[in-house]
């Protein structure tokens, strides 16, 4: 499958019906998700691997990993509504993916690779929440692919270093967020984000 073909498929993944601003529920753009999936394939982190999508939302990373050859895919999210959307869409398309509604902190299944786009921490109640996702990743996986605001990368790098991990790849993107909440003042706001491939130095499997 070519990257453009995957992007077209991922464009069909449904968005949130009632997005929760406190959870910073913004669908990862299909072109970014497809690119990250292909980068993970180049590092041999998807094919025939157990992949977990932390904070999966409606499942865009889960679906991308499954249809490109992951051995097993599990998507988890604290929001039951988006998990139901992901389950229905997955069932409709015969995707054998497990979607579980659970707090990331309470999830403990081991895996090879984690794909995640954690909340950026833009809301007051979510400050440092991306660190919770990284900490969980270090507990259960060997490799993490994680997206963060570029302006926070220095702090993320320090956290990874303290935990004994290693950033083996990074790439910057422009992440557009469209107007969906009343407090938004512009139709589209573009954020500079950075993808990190993190080796946890843990052989979890």
- What is the per-residue pLDDT across 156-202, written as a single tens digit (0 to 9) for each? 999 999 999 999 999 999 988 765 545 445 567 788 999 999 999 77
Q: Please, what is the angle between helix 60-67 and helix 30-42, to 10°? A: 40
Q: What residue ranges do the domains of the chain occupy? A: 3-13+22-199
Determine the Cα–Cα distance for residues 192 and 175; give it in Å rounded to an integer. 6
Question: Alpha helix (H) ranges present in 68-175?
Answer: 80-92, 129-140, 153-162
Determine the Cα–Cα distance for residues 27 and 15; give it in Å rounded to an integer. 6
CATH class of the domain whose range is 3-13+22-199? alpha beta
pLDDT of 27: 82
Place of tokens 């969980």: 136
Beta sheet of 143-149, edge-to-edge order: 98-101, 72-77, 50-54, 113-116, 143-149, 188-199, 166-178
pLDDT of 175: 87
Six token digits for residue 55: 């904070």
Tell me how crowded residue 158 is: count the other CB atoms within 10 A of its CB. 10
pTM for this one?
Answer: 0.89
Place of tokens 């497990």: 98
Residues of the chain with pLDDT under 70: 16-25, 120-128, 178-187, 203-205
Burial-class residue 5 by CB neighbours within 10 Å (0-12, 13-18, 19+).
exposed
Give the tens place of pLDDT for each residue, 142-157. 999 999 999 999 999 9
Assign 191 to helix, strand or coil. Answer: strand
Please, which residues have CB within 8 angstroms of residue 154's CB and are 6 or more apart in sequence?
none
């Amino acid at each position: 499958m070519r990257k453009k073909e995957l992007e077209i498929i991922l464009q069909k993944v449904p968005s949130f019906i009632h997005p929760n601003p406190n959870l910073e529920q913004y669908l990862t753009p299909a072109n970014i998700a497809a690119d990250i999936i292909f980068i993970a394939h180049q590092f041999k982190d998807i094919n025939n691997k157990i992949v977990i999508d932390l904070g999966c939302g409606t499942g865009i990373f889960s679906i991308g990993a499954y249809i490109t050859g992951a051995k097993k895919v599990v998507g988890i999210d604290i929001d039951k509504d988006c998990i139901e959307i992901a389950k229905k869409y997955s069932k409709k398309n015969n995707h054998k993916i497990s979607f579980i509604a659970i707090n990331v902190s309470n999830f403990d299944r081991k895996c090879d690779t984690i794909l995640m786009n954690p909340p950026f921490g833009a809301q007051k109640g979510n400050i440092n929440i991306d660190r919770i996702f990284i900490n969980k990743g270090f507990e259960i996986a060997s490799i993490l692919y994680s997206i963060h605001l570029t302006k926070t990368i220095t702090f993320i790098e320090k956290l990874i270093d303290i935990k004994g991990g290693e950033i083996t790849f990074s790439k910057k993107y422009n992440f557009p967020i469209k107007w969906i909440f009343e407090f938004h003042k512009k139709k589209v706001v573009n954020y500079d984000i950075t993808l990190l491939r993190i080796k946890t130095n843990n052989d979890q499997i």
